[in-house]
Amino acid sequence: MSRTGKPARLAGRDTLRCMIDVEMPGADRYARIARRWFDAGFSVLAPGQRAALETGPKLPPEAIRRPMPCGPPGATWGFVSATRYFPKTIRAGRQTYTHKNSGRVWSARSWKWFLEQLADPPHDATLGTAHLDNAGYPDGPRIRMTAWWPRELPGWLRLAFSAAESDLADPGRQQAWLAFVRETVTDLNPAFGIIDYQYDFLYGNTAFEARSNGAAGVLLADQIPRSRERLRGYDWLTICSQEVAGRLGGAEALRGTGAFHEVAQLPAGGVWLLATADYRDFDEEALDRVFRALAPVLPPGKPSPADERDPGNGRDYRIVYQDAAEVR
């Protein structure tokens, strides 16, 4: 999508995701944060689809439970779900769980039910939409939004969404995305945030974590709690924790690197780093500038290509394939 230089994009990938990690708040504050996340986010990310669901034909509610046409061909389809896990037994020294998942086809009634579910934090709350094909079946996801409270990490919350990269061909949509994310993190004191390609769905690692030998630990249970100690990834939009930004000299020092179009100190903590004013200008040169500015807080180690037999395939990940320790 880049308009200048070599594009910092991935062949065969067309979905972006946003991930924000922060310590899990109390239930009342969680409910306020999550309700705003879904309600405002739905209107920002898929305004046409939201309008279509609110005014379009009634969708068969049983389609959430069994394979069948989900509605008229060409219509918009949506669902909401809430999943909760409950400790079961300890087996071979490991805690096992049972779970309850409640999913409903989108309707005004199910949307109200979904927002009410957020009063008692579920481990996974999800909103999804899709376009129905000529047979009335979902033809791939249009957006996904989640508020994820990992059962393995009860002290943490991830707010995340995925949507089509093509949306950001419109500068107005870019600004809408950024304004929504900025408003979300303003009073959160986020530990980490990023807009990058959807490599590993909404519950996985960043590209840097996935490919870097220096990012100790493979599981998110090892990565997320270190968000205030080191940077876990970088891209067009990166949000550093206050602690990590402090190691780089704070917002003023980051502004002085010249690597970013916008550097902003967030009111409750954390630093907002936007690489280019226009997403379409985020090329390999811009990516390299971001990497070099943030290298001192990245774990050391040279990232490995996605396929060791074909190093060129490593470009499937939007990162710089250099050891951060060598540019400090």
State the average pLDDT for the chain: 90
| Predicted model pTM | 0.92
pLDDT for 194 beyond 50 = yes
User: Two tokens at 178?
Assistant: 């950024």
User: Two tokens at 319?
Assistant: 């990162």
Q: Give the whole-angstrom CA distance, residue 2 versus residue 11.
A: 13
Q: Give the whole-angstrom CA distance, residue 108 versus residue 146.
A: 19
Render pLDDT for 110-131 as a digit per residue (tens, 0 to 9). 999 999 999 999 999 999 999 9
H helices of the chain, where? 27-45, 47-55, 108-117, 171-185, 207-211, 220-223, 242-247, 250-256, 284-294
- Residue 312 has a pLDDT of 47
- Residue 298 has a pLDDT of 95
Render pLDDT for 82-104 as a digit per residue (tens, 0 to 9). 999 888 878 777 777 788 999 99
pLDDT interval class at 7 (50, 70, 90): low
pLDDT for 222 beyond 70 = yes
Query: Average of pLDDT values for 149-178?
Result: 96
Q: Give the whole-angstrom CA distance, residue 213 versus residue 217.
A: 9
What amino acid occupies position 12?
G
In the chain the beta strands, taken as DSSP E runs, fall at: 15-23, 76-91, 94-105, 124-132, 138-148, 156-164, 192-197, 237-240, 262-265, 271-274
